[in-house]
Amino acid sequence: MARGNKHRESGDHALRAARYRDARAAAETPVPADDHARAAGRTLGREGEGQETAPRAFHESDQVWEVANNAIDAAMARGDFDNLAYAGKPIPGLGGADDPDWWIKGLLQREHVSGLGPPALMLRKEDAELEQTLDAEASEARVRAILADFNARIIEARRQLSGGPPVTTRLRDLDAELAAWRARAESRAAPAQRAASRAQEPGPVPPRPSRMARRFRRR
């Protein structure tokens, strides 16, 4: 019982503090009155001014949302919601598939952090960029070594029981990846090879001068 009374008293103190801060904010910041403000029981100034001059009364049934609503209205009047980062733009990640790693992925992207994070997350990121990493290599032996190291780290991450998100990155088939790497390399080299072949082709043979032109030159 004593604990319940203490919890109730703590809640009463917090509510009184919220009411006090709300009253001060309402007194210092003029808030444009609208239909919702009138319905909520706010005390308005002279007709036509459209400004709130005194804090409204709280009711037991709606005191929580009233405090929150008044704070939002005051913030809008101050312009706190103006020029937000995503104003008029789609919010990244909204409406997409649920991703349990959305927060840490966003943090790493915002802070431009690389090389840190849970192994599962880092392996996913490396997996998404693996083809680009392989295409930067000119040696087949080097490509094979990168793939072997990547698969070994996936297996090691699956064995660890340190918590964190599960490792869902699949192992790469070395032969298939090498074949794909060769195909991409040939595709990139094809335009250069065609240009080199055209450069090596002999130019057009100039036409032989006519018999009349040869006679004219002799004269």
Digit-coded pLDDT (tens) for 81-90: 888 877 778 8
Residue 93 has, within 13 A of its CA and on its CB side, a CA count of: 9
Q: Report, as an integer, the average pLDDT of 86-96.
A: 73
For a pLDDT cut of 70, what percent of the chain falls above it?
55
Q: How confident is the model at residue 45 (pLDDT cuts 50, 70, 90)?
A: very low
Task: Give CA–CA dist 85/126, Å, rounded.
Answer: 29
Task: Give CA–CA dist 189/182, Å, rounded.
Answer: 10
User: What pLDDT was estimated at residue 20?
Assistant: 72
Most confident of 36-40, 88-92, 149-153, 189-193: 149-153
Task: Give CA–CA dist 115/122, Å, rounded.
Answer: 7
Most confident of 51-65, 69-83, 186-200: 69-83
Read off the pTM.
Answer: 0.42
**Alpha-helix runs per DSSP H in 29-164:** 35-39, 63-78, 102-110, 119-128, 130-135, 140-159
Q: Is the pLDDT of residue 48 over 50?
A: no
- Write down the mean pLDDT value for the chain: 74
Q: Report, as an integer, the average pLDDT of 77-81.
A: 87
For a pLDDT cut of 90, what percent of the chain falls above it?
22
Q: How confident is the model at residue 189 (pLDDT cuts 50, 70, 90)?
A: confident
Q: Report, as an integer, the average pLDDT of 186-212.
A: 71
For residues 37-48, one letter each, b for 16 or more C-beta atoms within 10 angstroms of the residue's C-beta and e for the rest, the string is: beebebebeeee
User: What pLDDT was estimated at residue 46?
Assistant: 42
Distance of CA 137 to the CA centre of its chain: 29
Contact between 67 and 95 (Cβ < 8 Å): no
Contact between 29 and 77 (Cβ < 8 Å): yes
Q: What's the token pair of residue 97?
A: 């598939």
Q: Of 76-85, 128-137, 138-147, give the lowest mean pLDDT range.
A: 76-85
Task: Give CA–CA dist 158/163, Å, rounded.
Answer: 11
Which residue(s) pair with 44 in the sheet?
52
